[in-house]
Chains A and B, each alone.
Chain A
Amino acid sequence: MCKYFINRGISGLLFLLWAFPAWAHDPVFSPGPHVLFKDGIEIHVGATRDKRDNATDDEQTLTVKYGLSGDWVIGAEIPYQRVKDDFATQKGVGDMTLSTKYRFWRNDSLGIQETAAVLLKVKLNSSTAQVSTDTTDFLIGLTYGYESLKWYRWASVRYRFNQNQGALSRGNRLFIDAALGYRPEVHDYRAPDTVWLLELNGEFRDRNALSGISINSSGGSRLFVSPGIQWTGRNFSVKAGVQIPLWSNLDAFQPRPDYRASLELEWHL
């Protein structure tokens, strides 16, 4: 009963937050080196849909971040997930993720900031809902960003270490991303600001294995092209994008990706 109310409460909260506008400062589907100012708080609400043949995964997330310094941020994320396929629908509050990002290099000049950061994420085994993987997984990453008044460019590489789930060995994943951003007009910073985005997102998955035997219908590579937009108004941002499959090389019978869509709202306080 308690879990029911918790789930209802969080989904209600997410719905309410969803009703407000919001935004962000890195690409939509990949990380950038953006961090917060010291003692700054970021509230981030996101919704994503991953559609593959008859399967649909929906996720709404609420993330809170805190700036430990001008170069170091920590955060916690809680998702509400709904996983649907031909046979069943599972939903509930998923596992919490803790994250940190440290900007270790910065080169500032007039109207330009070029930076690089390392990031670490830990997905905890915190949920008792069926959407949980019942594992603790780690992700490490390196990201570079060039931000100017007119142009943006980003690149990142991430590696996810997936913990085994009983006899099931879950394949690790490698992500490689590149992104461009273009601001058509530079306004006063209090006026609404628009940046158009275009990303290339590569995903490379190892095969899963059961009791040491490789599972054919797992693993493979996918490449997406992802147009997006970022709209900012002072300390509030809305970001949206669609991942369109460009190429895939998936092993055996796996659902091919149709698309992924994301909408994110972000406030800096």
Chain B
Amino acid sequence: MMKILQRSGLAAMLILLGTMTALAEPQSYSLKVDGLACPFCAFGIEKQLSKIDGVGDLKTDVKAGVVRLTMKDGSLLDKAEAKQAVDRAGFTLRGIEKVRNAPQQAGESQ
């Protein structure tokens, strides 16, 4: 009985630890943006998105019409703020997707 309790406690701690680690990981997002067609476009949109609190790394793939964004310190992206930033850059936000394996995705070359 004692062993069962010890194993259950250990399993619960591992699950909790795993969850905390996942929460502490940088959160990454893929923003699908319509209207991107040139280097100036990418510069403007990165400039606007970088003003959002907690935004860390930004990478724009003009061909795919995607901005990949990684947050700092596990903070989350406010979708309304992201939409406003894209609008202020002069483009249209088509959608936002949360990306798994944040550090690897953010490090992908464009």
Seen from chain A, the residues whose Cβ lies within 8 Å of a Cβ on chain B are 25, 34-40, 69-71, 103, 106, 108-113, 147-149, 186, 188-190, 193, 232-235, 237, 268
Answer whether residue B96 sits at the interface, using C-beta atoms and an 8 A cutoff: no
**Contact of B63 with A149 in the complex, beta carbons under 8 Å:** yes
**Contact of A38 with B43 in the complex, beta carbons under 8 Å:** no
**Contact of A40 with B44 in the complex, beta carbons under 8 Å:** yes
Q: Given the known A-B contacts A109-B34, A189-B60, are A37 and B39 also in contact in the complex, defined by CB atoms under 8 Å? A: no
Question: Contact mask B98-110 → A, CB, 8 Å, 1/0?
Answer: 0000000000001
**Contact of B37 with A147 in the complex, beta carbons under 8 Å:** yes
Among B43, B47, B89, B91, residue most surrounded by chain A Cβ atoms (within 10 Å): B43
Bound form: Cα–Cα A255–B88 in Å: 47
Bound form: Cα–Cα A148–B87 in Å: 19
Answer whether residue B75 sits at the interface, using C-beta atoms and an 8 A cutoff: no
Q: List 20 A-B contacts (CB under 8 A).
A: A37-B45, A37-B47, A37-B48, A108-B34, A110-B65, A111-B36, A111-B37, A111-B62, A113-B34, A113-B36, A113-B91, A147-B38, A149-B62, A189-B38, A189-B39, A189-B41, A193-B39, A232-B40, A234-B43, A235-B43
B89 proximity list for chain A (CB < 8 A): 37-38, 70
Q: Given the known A-B contacts A111-B63, A189-B62, are A149 and B37 also in contact in the complex, defined by CB atoms under 8 Å? A: yes
A-B contact count (CB 8 A): 88
Answer whether residue B82 sits at the interface, using C-beta atoms and an 8 A cutoff: no
Q: Given the known A-B contacts A40-B47, A70-B87, are A112 and B35 also in contact in the complex, defined by CB atoms under 8 Å? A: yes
**Contact of A189 with B42 in the complex, beta carbons under 8 Å:** yes
Bound form: Cα–Cα A137–B58 in Å: 45
Residue of B35, B39, B47 touching A232 (CB-CB under 8 A): B39
Answer whether residue B54 sits at the interface, using C-beta atoms and an 8 A cutoff: no
Q: Given the known A-B contacts A149-B63, A189-B60, are A70 and B38 also in contact in the complex, defined by CB atoms under 8 Å? A: no
- In the assembled complex, the CB of B90 is this many whole angstroms from the nearest CB of chain A, namely 4
**Contact of B62 with A268 in the complex, beta carbons under 8 Å:** no
16 more contacts with CB within 8 A, not counting A38-B88, A193-B38, A234-B43, are A25-B40, A37-B44, A38-B48, A108-B34, A110-B65, A111-B63, A111-B65, A113-B34, A113-B37, A147-B37, A186-B63, A189-B38, A189-B42, A232-B40, A235-B40, A268-B40
